[in-house]
């Protein structure tokens, strides 16, 4: 696993207007001076994807989206298609984030359809899974994650370029994180699932997400089968995000 390049992706959620692009630039400047060992991505709100990709140019920072519509095109007022995101400069896309699974009742089937559409236009999907606090306390964490994987990873992922993000719902934005042993147990289960189903299952990066901060990033990145991080709050500023990127090296 250690030979696979880690991916550290920032999820800006519904934060950021044009003035915030200066943070992306600061990150890119630092990486130009001292290249990162890992791959780095920023997923801004849809309105900033195009401007961010223009501002970053050929900097070593991938630009990503946070969601997409499962249909390629059509009468879907207010929605954005995979092709539009790609056209705007996105190279990857977060799919099935727990905030969307919860607030928009996104099902595994819908997420699987979105993953297939992303692949169709050449966007790298970062597919999120993770248990709630109640599910963890009931001893169901592995079961829940396995059933999310079974339902939301379409077979067309075989040999495709994609990543999984394990994000326990209770760790997102809370400051709480699982222990390293708990992270390793879930990541091992995810790896076993990937290896069982996909030809490239051994090399798919499995990111950890949920309250990753500069002070816990190094320990998390060194955990077995952790192939990077999906970072929310701490990806909004270069000051917080850069040390996390460096910790992945
Ligand atoms: P957080 O969010 O780092 O702010 O906990 C992570 C995420 O939701 O992807």
CA 41 to centroid of ligand 1, rounded, Å: 14
Residues of the chain short of pLDDT 70, as ranges, are: 1-3
pLDDT number for residue 243? 98
How does pLDDT run across 194-212, given as a tens digit for each residue?
Answer: 999 999 999 999 999 999 9
pLDDT number for residue 153? 98
How does pLDDT run across 93-120, given as a tens digit for each residue?
Answer: 999 999 999 999 999 999 999 999 999 9
| Paired strand residues for 82 | none
If DSSP codes are grouped into helix, strand and coil, which group holds residue 50? helix
Distance CA 248, CA 82 (A): 29
Q: At what angle do helices 21-33 and 238-247 cross, to 10 degrees?
A: 40
pLDDT number for residue 249? 82
pLDDT number for residue 2? 45
Per domain, the residue ranges of the chain are: 64-172+181-211
Fold of 64-172+181-211: TIM Barrel (3.20.20)
pLDDT number for residue 1? 44
CA 187 to centroid of ligand 1, rounded, Å: 17
Q: Which of 45, 169, 16, 186 is nearest to 103 (CA)?
A: 169
Q: Is 236 in the pocket of ligand 1 (CB under 6 A)?
A: no
| pTM exceeds 0.85 for this model | yes
pLDDT number for residue 195? 97
Distance CA 207, CA 215 (A): 17
Q: Is 148 in the pocket of ligand 1 (CB under 6 A)?
A: no
In total, the chain counts a number of residues equal to 249
The answer to whether residues 43 and 9 touch, using CB atoms and an 8 Å cutoff, is yes
Half-sphere exposure for 234 (CA within 13 Å, toward CB)? 24
Joined tokens for residue 102 = 């919860």
């Amino acid at each position: 696993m250690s030979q696979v390049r880690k991916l550290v992706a920032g999820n800006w959620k519904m934060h950021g207007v044009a003035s915030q692009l200066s943070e992306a630039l600061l990150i890119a400047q630092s990486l130009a001076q001292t290249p990162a060992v890992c791959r780095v991505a920023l997923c801004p709100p849809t309105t900033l994807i195009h401007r961010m990709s223009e501002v970053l140019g050929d900097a070593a920072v991938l630009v990503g989206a946070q969601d997409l519509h499962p249909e390629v095109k059509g009468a879907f007022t207010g929605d954005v298609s995979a092709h539009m995101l790609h056209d705007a400069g996105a190279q990857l896309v977060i799919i099935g984030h727990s905030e969307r699974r919860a607030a928009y009742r996104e099902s595994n089937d819908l997420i699987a359809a979105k993953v297939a559409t992303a692949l169709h236009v050449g966007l790298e999907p970062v597919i999120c899974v993770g248990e709630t606090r109640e599910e963890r306390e009931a001893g169901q964490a592995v079961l829940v994650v396995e059933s999310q994987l079974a339902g939301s990873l379409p077979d067309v992922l075989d040999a495709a370029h994609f990543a999984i993000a394990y994000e326990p719902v209770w760790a997102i934005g809370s400051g709480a994180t699982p222990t390293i042993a708990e992270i390793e147990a879930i990541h091992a289960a995810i790896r076993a699932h990937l290896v069982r189903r996909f030809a490239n299952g051994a090399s798919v990066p499995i990111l950890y997400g949920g309250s990753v901060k500069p002070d816990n990033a190094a320990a998390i990145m060194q955990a077995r089968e952790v192939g990077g991080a999906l970072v929310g709050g701490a990806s909004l500023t270069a000051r917080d995000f850069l040390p996390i990127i460096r910790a992945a090296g």
